[in-house]
Structure 1
Amino acid sequence: MANPAHKRWLILTAVMLAFMPVVIDMTILHIAVPSLTLALEATSTEVLWIIDVYPLLMAGLLVPMGTLADRLGNRRVLLVGLAVFGLASLLAAFSQTPAMLIVARMLLALGGSMIMPCVLGIVRRTFEDERERAMALGIWGTVSAAGAAVGPLVGGALLEHFWWGSVFLINVPLMAVVIPVAFALLPRVETTSPGKWQVGQAALLITGIIAVVYSIKAGIGATAPLVIIAVTLLLGLTLLVAFARKQLHATAPMLDLALFAHPAILAGIVMALFVTGALAGVELTLAMELQYVLDKTPLQAGIFMIPIMLAAAIGGPVAGYLSNRYGLRLVASLSLGVSAGSLALLPVVGFDASLIVPALLAVLGLALSIGLTASSIAIMGAVDASKGAAAGSLEATAYELGSGLGITFFGVFMSSVFSRSLALPPDLATTLAERAATSIGDSYVVAGELPTGQAEALIEAAKTAFSITNSVLLSTCAVLLAVLAVVVFVLLSRDRKVGWRWSANAGFLDGGITVLA
């Protein structure tokens, strides 16, 4: 029996409160990178691991945790995940070394991987009406995009008055409030999927994904010997093939591989993967540009990003409305195209353009928020309620893989372009020159060891090189999103359930994403 209307929206409120700290944590660290780098004396490689070990580990955990939630109940797994997340935040806040912070971020990933699929699973089970579900997912999209956008602002405000660890410590009181609210509001009786949760299959999937992702990351960054990378990649692929074979022959598979055959789900996963990668990389580089190059404080950098936050906050409901009215294919493709145009214009106008840049950032935030919500509507509208958490975990996995690999690609790309664009001051020692050419953060660290005149010359050269690097990066990202817009349009055109023409009778039918034309 469906929940009463007021009860459904109270449940949505509870899971949005649970989801908000997790999504804020994805980006709040971006604004703290300069402070953290200097305080812990972290290398560029350590900084990359601190940032993206969280999404990369979550990528391996999300599907097993999503299927576990379908077996045991979303409420139980969600509450455990919230507790783990709170304790891990406390450990991260007081980390003394880069290695300690990386371990804390791994525990944060464990908690987050239990929370994210449960949120989408609860939304899918709670809202059976297709139009209500589209609006509920629109609200979820608002929280997701706005939370990611508000992360830098919250981080900047905290760093204005406190040390870098405060960006993690803020999660502890949040969890102290969220856990009792979720405990009180979420339904205690849930319909669960039959069958046992297969620990062996979960281990295969987790180990396989992590091995493949690590080998890709290590290969891109050349942070490990080629033999180790090759062996790790082969091991990961072998484990994933073994997992797939077990799913195909199991009477109650952990993951229904038939989901990938649905064009709408495939399009949604592709969108989530690339859009979150672009968004994570752009936000990180923008925060660095504002602080390193334009000499803004963390708070000023966070305020500069407010247009993204405000626009993203309305993008979710707008996506639900537009998808109901005009169809998913048109909305998804146009949102990607508009995002590409915004990114392409940013390096042209420059970040010191007082009026044009905020407008472009607002358009970018709105378009990306609409695109991400459209991917959720495609995925969650194509599954039965009993598979809601599993489908949600697939989408969340795409988010985390996109975020983690996006940061890795951006980091390596930036390092390569930066080192080639940097004009080092003369008479700089070879070892210092090599480190300074790695990243702008390393340039600042090296400058701290030099005499005043030489330090100022190095910092000015690093600022120039980073501005060039960021322009190349944003232009490349714009091209990729433009290509993705075409790919998504083609993928969704292959699904006869996806329409794109307007009709007064537009609506979602039969648990899919049909739009009457």
Structure 2
Amino acid sequence: MKKEIAVKKAGTKEWIGLAIIALPCMLYSMDLTILNLAVPKLSEDLQPTSAQLLWIVDIYGFVIAGLMIPLGALGDRIGRKKLLLIGAAVFGLASVLAAFSNSANSLIASRAILGVAGATLAPSTLSLIRSMFEDPKQRTLAIGVWITSFSIGGAIGPVIGGIILEFYWWGAVFLVAIPIMILLLILGPFLLPEFKDPNPGKMDLISALMSLTAILSAVFGIKMAVTEGLHFQPVFFILLGILIGWLFIRRQQRLDNPFIDLKLFENRKFSTSLSLNLLAAFMLFGMFLFIAQYFQLVMDFSAFEAGLWGISSGIGFIIGALTTQYLTTKFKPVFIMTAGFVLAALGFGLLLFLGGSFDLFFIVSGFTIFSLGIALVFTLVTDAIVGSAPPEQAGLASSMSETSSELGGALGIAILGSIGTLAYKNKMFRSDLQNELNIVDSLGGVIARANQLSADRASDLIVLAKEAFTNGMHWTAGISVILSLTLAFLCLNSLRKVKPI
């Protein structure tokens, strides 16, 4: 009879340590959303060009997406706690620089440094969880808490930003990071364990550069396609990213000490979970884009009101992430993930009823339900990704998990955003008000130009534009329903016979 190996249970120190590393994760997602509310005030103060403003908003996410894998691999070599503490110190200093920036270019540079530091936070914290919580059930709960911290940060970011901007200048939104990072730097050395690969081999800098270039090029091309449409430049950058990615994989196959161990992908649980993670993020971020606009442009909510109602998504994520561990005591993970995709389909399906008298009910309930369902999926696929990788490669696996989310989100915004925009334009340009449109091809643009028309024509045009935007949202929600149900089937079919971690 095979003797079971006893697994060490996490104690009080590990759970307190989890609370400490949850704080920078919350801050990481807050920094992605909190700046959006500050854009009007910083634009008035710094007077950036349209291109500079785009870089102020996007550079943080670009740098994070590109550096996660190289920094995850670096953490496996120098120590995950060390990398986290270095990242926390740099994040705090860069936050001060961003807060007191006196020009658009200095703010762009500060946001880029924040991105470098932010790229250390998610993979370092997740790989530390892999080291701190050896027991699978405890690890599932810990990852649920980890995901919850991101959800809370994303939910409260707009609310806290709105409150801060009521009383202080725009730079104050960056100073929220300072006390959190100081707390991490004080308590982290005592509460967090250090772990690194005992035999890491030499880090291949060429591979690191290729990984960075491939991801940055692809994400930049996708974002350019979203903002400018599909023309030569975005296609060039996307194809360049794919080409460098292919050359990167070929290089890994030849190296004695590859930057990424491609044998990880031979593990069906790892590769399937990584794919499900990307596709779940694809749907989630694609719909986030439309819901945020729907609250403000169709329902006429202020940014602060939209932020408050947007907390419904955070509530769904918190419930889903924190109940996953309990559900695993009753059901197999594959059945929970399948149920998560079915719940997501139900939530997306409720958005098909938007455009009537009960819009607030349908959008809030749909937002909550699909967030809950995808939280179940995220928790379990993240657990599967870090749990199926060897402990010495947990940092790399964690960064690959986060990078797949970033790429999935960028693709979701680009593809679902494009589909919704095409549906919007199709309805608008088939109307008898098409002569009023000229270059206006978005709901925001119509609202901005409405004051140039007579009151009656402006009212008719805005009503039509809102109906067209709702039509575009119906298309993206319908596609998300079909994709969710397809993923539920594939998840059940692909993972049912895979052995648990």
- Structure 1 position 247 matched with structure 2 position 252: yes
- Structure 1 position 293 matched with structure 2 position 298: yes
Alpha carbons of structure 1 residues 410 and 377: separation in structure 2 relative to 1, 3 Å = same
- Structure 1 position 476 matched with structure 2 position 476: yes
- Give the corresponding residue for 1:259: 264
Find the residue that maps to 1:299 and give its secondary structure.
helix
- Give the corresponding residue for 1:28: 34
Alpha carbons of structure 1 residues 494 and 445: separation in structure 2 relative to 1, 3 Å = closer
- Structure 1 position 129 matched with structure 2 position 132: no
- Give the corresponding residue for 1:194: 200
Alpha carbons of structure 1 residues 455 and 222: separation in structure 2 relative to 1, 3 Å = same
Amino acid in the other structure paired with 1:468: A
1:388-418, Cα deviation, whole Å (9 max, x unpaired): 1111011100111122333333544454444
Alpha carbons of structure 1 residues 496 and 362: separation in structure 2 relative to 1, 3 Å = closer
Residue from 388, 396, 406 that aligns with 1:390:
396
Alignment of 1:115-514 (within 5 A): 115-162=121-168, 164-188=170-194, 192-219=198-225, 221-222=227-228, 226=232, 228-229=233-234, 231-350=236-355, 353=358, 354-422=360-428, 433-434=438-439, 437-446=440-449, 450=451, 454=454, 458=458, 461-462=461-462, 464-487=464-487, 489-491=489-491, 493-495=493-495, 498=498, 512=501
- Give the corresponding residue for 1:15: 21
Deviation at 1:312, TM superposition (A): 1.7
Deviation at 1:121, TM superposition (A): 0.6
1:189-226, Cα deviation, whole Å (9 max, x unpaired): 65545212222220111112222333344456556862
Find the residue that maps to 1:381 and give its secondary structure.
helix
Amino acid in the other structure paired with 1:255: I
1:131-190, Cα deviation, whole Å (9 max, x unpaired): 111111121122223332333333343344445544434333433333323244223565
Distance in 2, Cα, partners of 1:103 & 1:410: 30
Distance in 2, Cα, partners of 1:332 & 1:320: 12
- Give the corresponding residue for 1:502: none
Distance in 2, Cα, partners of 1:57 & 1:5: 36
Kept after mapping to 2: 8 A contact 1:414/1:473: yes
Find the residue that maps to 1:255 and give its secondary structure.
coil
Kept after mapping to 1: 8 A contact 2:270/2:389: no
Deviation at 1:314, TM superposition (A): 2.0
Distance in 2, Cα, partners of 1:24 & 1:288: 19
Kept after mapping to 2: 8 A contact 1:48/1:411: no
Deviation at 1:345, TM superposition (A): 1.3
Q: Give the TM-score of the pair, scaled to structure 2.
A: 0.85
Residue from 63, 83, 91 that aligns with 2:89:
83
Amino acid in the other structure paired with 2:112: M
Find the residue that maps to 1:86 and give its secondary structure.
helix
Deviation at 1:387, TM superposition (A): 1.2
Q: Which has the higher contact order (CA 8 A, sep 6+)?
A: 1
Kept after mapping to 1: 8 A contact 2:351/2:477: no
CA-based RMSD? 3.5
1:40-72, Cα deviation, whole Å (9 max, x unpaired): 788988766554443343222111110100000
- Give the corresponding residue for 2:3: none
Please say which of residues 387-396 and 42-51 is displaced more in the overlay.
42-51
Distance in 2, Cα, partners of 1:471 & 1:36: 34
Deviation at 1:489, TM superposition (A): 3.9
Distance in 1, Cα, partners of 2:202 & 2:462: 56
Kept after mapping to 1: 8 A contact 2:80/2:195: no
Alpha carbons of structure 1 residues 71 and 466: separation in structure 2 relative to 1, 3 Å = farther
Distance in 2, Cα, partners of 1:42 & 1:69: 36
Kept after mapping to 2: 8 A contact 1:72/1:192: no
- Give the corresponding residue for 1:515: none
Kept after mapping to 2: 8 A contact 1:312/1:365: yes
Distance in 1, Cα, partners of 2:419 & 2:51: 13
Distance in 2, Cα, partners of 1:375 & 1:32: 34
- Give the corresponding residue for 2:119: 113
Find the residue that maps to 1:305 and give its secondary structure.
helix
Please say which of residues 96-105 and 404-413 is displaced more in the overlay.
96-105
Segments of structure 2 that go 5 or more residues without pairing to the other structure are: 1-6
Distance in 2, Cα, partners of 1:196 & 1:90: 35
Kept after mapping to 1: 8 A contact 2:286/2:412: yes
Distance in 2, Cα, partners of 1:370 & 1:216: 27
Distance in 1, Cα, partners of 2:336 & 2:373: 10
Deviation at 1:35, TM superposition (A): 6.9
Deviation at 1:286, TM superposition (A): 2.2
Find the residue that maps to 2:330 and give its secondary structure.
helix
Distance in 1, Cα, partners of 2:456 & 2:118: 42
Please say which of residues 379-388 and 144-153 is displaced more in the overlay.
144-153
Distance in 1, Cα, partners of 2:469 & 2:166: 27
Distance in 2, Cα, partners of 1:339 & 1:400: 19
Please say which of residues 60-69 and 204-213 is displaced more in the overlay.
204-213
Deviation at 1:357, TM superposition (A): 4.2
Kept after mapping to 2: 8 A contact 1:55/1:401: no
Find the residue that maps to 2:282 and give its secondary structure.
helix
Segments of structure 1 that go 5 or more residues without pairing to the other structure are: 500-507, 513-517
Distance in 1, Cα, partners of 2:47 & 2:432: 22
Alpha carbons of structure 1 residues 349 and 284: separation in structure 2 relative to 1, 3 Å = closer
Distance in 1, Cα, partners of 2:443 & 2:165: 20
Amino acid in the other structure paired with 1:242: L
Deviation at 1:336, TM superposition (A): 1.5
Alpha carbons of structure 1 residues 3 and 148: separation in structure 2 relative to 1, 3 Å = same
Alpha carbons of structure 1 residues 64 and 191: separation in structure 2 relative to 1, 3 Å = closer
Find the residue that maps to 1:196 and give its secondary structure.
coil
1:89-108, Cα deviation, whole Å (9 max, x unpaired): 34444567766655444333
Amino acid in the other structure paired with 2:328: S
Amino acid in the other structure paired with 2:479: V
Find the residue that maps to 1:28 and give its secondary structure.
helix
Distance in 1, Cα, partners of 2:445 & 2:89: 36
Distance in 2, Cα, partners of 1:105 & 1:277: 25
Amino acid in the other structure paired with 1:202: A
